[in-house]
Structure 1
Amino acid sequence: MTSPTSRRTVLAAALAAAASAGTAATAAAASAPGRSPAPSSPDTHVDNRFWHTYTDWRSGTGDGARPLPGTRPGLVIATAAGRTDYTDPHTGRTAAWEYATWTSPRHRSAVPATEVIASWNARTPAGTWIQIELSGSYADGTATPWFVMGRWASGDGDIRRTSLDGQGDSRGSVWTDTFSVDDPASGVRLTAYRLRLTLYRTPGSRLTPTVWRVGAMASDVPDRFTVPATEPGRARELRVPRYSQNVHIGQYPEYDNGGEAWCSPTSSQMIIEYWGRRPTAAELAWVKPGLPDPQVCHAARQTYDYQYEGCGNWPFNAAYAAAYRDMNAVVTRLGSLADVERLIGAGIPVITSQSFLEKELTGAGYGTAGHLMTVIGFTDDGDVIANDPASPDNPAVRRVYRRREWESIWLRTKRYDANGKVRSGTGGVCYVYWPTRPTLGQHRVLRSLGLL
């Protein structure tokens, strides 16, 4: 059920050490009558900034890239700004590529941040791919180098989708998909950043990737083993497809050792299909005939990070979801279950990331160092209805978990493992996917959370 530990474990250990030093589809939804949605205020620990409008694209600096107007504005290659060779570290193949670049304006975060996670939405036809980079400024005005936050393509025929290890400066490091201040207790914070997109294509072709959205979530969530309890809001349950990762155990071990580690792509696939999208028969033709739910195998392959050697790269999952027709997807943090209730009330399910001991989540029947589930609703008592992919089969995926236990394991930033050692929690990390033409109610909630 968990992704590889190489990145999350290292990041958890770093944050724990710092803490010790410093502190010791709406129509498919079914709703039940109940209370009004709980009020919510913006999380002052999180700053979201996404570039996605035509004005946004024009505000940046392009070299060979140009904004594309229309109902869904994007960024494309107009002319090649240069040519380069790229040797894929995972295949050893070297190929020549033309490229164009776009650099965002400098965004001053409303939250001096200890972590920044970028995410993007794009289409990359065969013969194209993209690279996403981040450069930040610390409070004293010094700047980081440009860090690669991902080399990404929706397929794996041209390059292998990958993060990069070993990036950092004297005060911060990149752990797969997350820039993190090495010692938050020191007071070091990232106060501003820019993002740079490089769009690649086969030389001499007229191909182009199209990027519809790029941005980042900056956050400074305080060290906390517990979080305040929230009052339940309105009861509602969304009809989301149910898929178990465990029916895929042993399948395609080249992708994160098989289904037992596919919590993230399985969760992503459930929400993609909730919104009425799914891979075509041609896209599934590579899957061995007779396997159940071949689209889950497809999702695992399409989210696999060849450096991380896992399917749990957060932005890669969002990018996979947004590769489907007219879909948006971001990685963010939410401040409380009240925020999730507001999204559920608008017909938008949420994929959450959490770690817990078996005894901390009644009814789960397992413990995990990192697991993704889909929140699909709330009961009359305010308990969480989740599609938990770590279930023996598809019918068993729907679970009800106690509200107080859930909000604690999801929102905390510090926890104790089975040996009593301090580890990190995700502090409310989640994926949010929604169509490019949301309803008025959905638009209102998404905007209030800083996602539009």
Structure 2
Amino acid sequence: MKKSIKRSLVTVLALFLIVGTIPAGVMAAGTPSVSYRTHVQDDGWQDFVADGALSGTTARSLRLEGIEVKLDKQDYDLGIAYQTHIENIGWEANTEIGWKSDGQTSGTFARALRLEAIQIKLTGADADQFDVYYQVHSQNIGWMGWAKNGESAGTAGYAYRLEGIHIVIVNKGETPPVGTVDQARPFLETKFVQGNSLIQSTESDFSENASSMENVDISGNNGDGAITLKSGAQNGVYTSSPFNTNLFNKLVLSWSSDTPEGTSIQLEARVMTGNDSWSNWLSFGIWGTSIRRSSGTGVTDDAVAKVDVDTLVVKDGQMARKIQYRVIFNSDRSGVAPTVRLVSGALRNTNPGQGIGKVFKDNPDLSNLRVLDVPQFSQMVRDPSIAHYICSPTSVAMILNYYGTAVQPEDSAWGAYDYSCDEFGNWPFNTAYASSFGYTAYVDYSTIDGLKREIASGHPAVASVAYKNSVYVDEDLPVIDGAPISYTYGHLIVVCGFVNEGGTEYIVINDPAADSDAGVRVRYRLDQFAAAWAESGNITYIIH
């Protein structure tokens, strides 16, 4: 080894004697030294620091407003370029400002605009010999994982200020110094959530949008993914990155999971309002198929929002524009772990004229829809002590039997029962129960087009409606002619198909409120159903 080093040095010296300089790609001993300084709110420009030292501040809540970066050794063909994401401006490269380099000022000063993210890269013929690493301290997050070679460090678009930075250059393939990291991996920017539905179900969904993982693993199987508690661990937490959304004031978080005996999970979410205020982590309850599952477990209320059994409601007329979720895993049995296969966030804006549209990625033929042969169960002929309260689990039982899973409405009812509020109608608990048989199930705010897509693909769906069955009923509700209940402010039914007769479109329903199994299959005028469904918020159970 020593002989090889000596030969390399002799070769370099020989080349130097011939051409009078070190050729590009043949590096002098040691790594380049990088110096940098930042302009800090209230402090102004700090002195230059070098090679991994802190520039900026921590624990003082002061924003970085500008930065200058330069290389101090010039015996190689190497430069450094950088750009920042600036409040109200965005990435400099997307404006006439462009990338900065070799000691130029990136950002602003005397304008009170925060830096939110930074990208740094090496330039020149010798750039491929080194890696530039950089680590930022970000508002509300702390020290984030090291980014390198042009990756984004920080939270572009999330309105968090940069407060401090470390920068270091290492030989290609080497690792940066071990240091304080509050977030174990670089922050991964997420795309804007299209429409009103966030679905996380693939291996890449869970891995690329993870903010932190404690005692959990991510697995994949043919494109599907899952989060599971690590073998041997009793507790674990998966936390997502924040997601940008359309403005909303209601959120239903639901999940598909496997919770063997002795295990449970708890789903929580927090939301950010338009004035950049985050709520606390608010709980949708503790879930498991062998426990006394209950909503109201954990924190459910604060100044920003509250969880009302199964729905997060933003308070005081405010609107939220970001969501973040986390899953808490628990196991009391050695070698037995709970698993989450899907997390869904259904968003709703209840302000008139501000509803969030649904976005579909395909365009199927919906012109000739069939009627699905869904088994007919009446809730009214079931256990008399609960018969009037089990429309939701009875509807779920009909769909499970359609798919070949033989469960009775009473089984479904007690499988989804919410012990905290003494109810059978907790929306996420009903879909979680369906998912416990291996199905994908979640709660959605859907549309007529969405229901037709489900039918076209062979999937019945559960819809929540509020109606009266005659104009003569003295309630302020939409009318569905011929419905089995005189009026209801919340009732779950199964959508089985669509038919058109005499120019009138009907939706074919299994309504569990019928007084016999034979009477469950009915047809409602589509316009009347649509009004009754909208009255109940267009809530839908999707079960595949």
Distance 2:194 2:389 in 1: 30
Distance 2:381 2:288 in 1: 27
Deviates most, 49-58 or 368-377: 49-58
Distance 1:181 1:273 in 2: 37
CA drift at 1:245: 0.2
Distance 2:412 2:254 in 1: 18
Alignment of 1:20-59 (within 5 A): 46-59=195-208
Which residue identity lines up with residue 431 of structure 1 in the other structure? Y
Kindly indicate whether residue 295 of structure 2 is the aligned counterpart of residue 160 of structure 1.
Answer: no
Q: Which of 375, 378, 386 is the equivalent residue of 1:244?
A: 378
Distance 1:178 1:330 in 2: 13
Kindly indicate whether residue 242 of structure 2 is the aligned counterpart of residue 106 of structure 1.
Answer: yes
Distance 1:103 1:322 in 2: 21
Kindly indicate whether residue 378 of structure 2 is the aligned counterpart of residue 261 of structure 1.
Answer: no
TM-score by length of 1: 0.68
CA drift at 1:402: 1.3
For 2:482, the equivalent position in structure 1 comes to 363
Q: Which of 198, 222, 225 is the equivalent residue of 1:73?
A: 225
For 1:144, the equivalent position in structure 2 comes to 279
CA deviation string 1:3-48 (max 9, x = no partner): xxxxxxxxxxxxxxxxxxxxxxxxxxxxxxxxxxxxxxxxx99521
TM-score by length of 2: 0.57
Alignment of 1:266-281 (within 5 A): 266-279=394-407
Distance 2:393 2:228 in 1: 28
Distance 1:140 1:259, change over 3 A: same
Q: Which of 210, 213, 223 is the equivalent residue of 2:339?
A: 210
Contact 1:102 1:197 in 2 (8 A): yes
Aligned-partner SS, 1:270: helix
For 1:195, the equivalent position in structure 2 comes to 325
Distance 1:222 1:235 in 2: 33
Aligned-partner SS, 1:242: coil
Kindly indicate whether residue 459 of structure 2 is the aligned counterpart of residue 348 of structure 1.
Answer: yes
For 2:508, the equivalent position in structure 1 comes to 385
Contact 1:116 1:218 in 2 (8 A): yes
Kindly indicate whether residue 479 of structure 2 is the aligned counterpart of residue 334 of structure 1.
Answer: no
Which residue identity lines up with residue 306 of structure 1 in the other structure? Y
Could you tell me which runs of 5 or more consecutive residues in structure 1 were left unpaired when the two chains were aligned. 1-43, 82-97, 225-231, 280-294, 412-424, 435-452
Q: Which of 407, 419, 422 is the equivalent residue of 1:306?
A: 419
For 2:26, the equivalent position in structure 1 comes to none
Contact 2:454 2:460 in 1 (8 A): yes
Contact 1:234 1:380 in 2 (8 A): no
CA deviation string 1:225-266 (max 9, x = no partner): xxxxxxx9534211101100000142xx4xxxx111110000
Distance 1:249 1:77 in 2: 38
For 2:496, the equivalent position in structure 1 comes to 376
For 2:172, the equivalent position in structure 1 comes to none
Contact 2:372 2:455 in 1 (8 A): yes
Deviates most, 162-171 or 341-350: 162-171
CA deviation string 1:408-434 (max 9, x = no partner): 1112xxxxxxxxxxxxx3221111111
Alignment of 1:112-127 (within 5 A): 112-127=247-262
Deviates most, 381-390 or 358-367: 358-367
For 1:30, the equivalent position in structure 2 comes to none
For 1:426, the equivalent position in structure 2 comes to 536
Which residue identity lines up with residue 374 of structure 1 in the other structure? V
Distance 2:452 2:205 in 1: 30
Q: Which has the larger radius of gyration?
A: 2
For 2:313, the equivalent position in structure 1 comes to 180
Distance 1:405 1:201, change over 3 A: same
Distance 1:202 1:343 in 2: 38
Deviates most, 339-348 or 350-359: 339-348
For 1:62, the equivalent position in structure 2 comes to 213
Aligned-partner SS, 1:299: helix
Aligned-partner SS, 1:133: strand
Distance 1:249 1:182 in 2: 39
CA drift at 1:174: 1.1
Distance 1:221 1:334 in 2: 14
Distance 1:378 1:135, change over 3 A: same
Distance 1:126 1:247 in 2: 31
Distance 1:78 1:51 in 2: 20
CA deviation string 1:37-68 (max 9, x = no partner): xxxxxxx9952112211112223121000112
For 2:529, the equivalent position in structure 1 comes to 406
Distance 1:217 1:400 in 2: 28
CA drift at 1:75: 1.2
Contact 2:279 2:303 in 1 (8 A): no
Distance 1:372 1:55 in 2: 34
Distance 1:163 1:408, change over 3 A: same
For 2:23, the equivalent position in structure 1 comes to none
CA drift at 1:80: 6.2
Which residue identity lines up with residue 536 of structure 2 in the other structure? T
Distance 2:194 2:310 in 1: 19
Contact 1:268 1:317 in 2 (8 A): yes
Distance 1:302 1:46 in 2: 32
CA drift at 1:73: 2.3
Contact 2:278 2:304 in 1 (8 A): no
Distance 1:46 1:391 in 2: 35
The CA RMSD over aligned residues, in Å, is 2.0
Aligned-partner SS, 2:221: coil
Distance 2:367 2:250 in 1: 30
CA drift at 1:223: 3.6
Distance 1:221 1:46, change over 3 A: farther
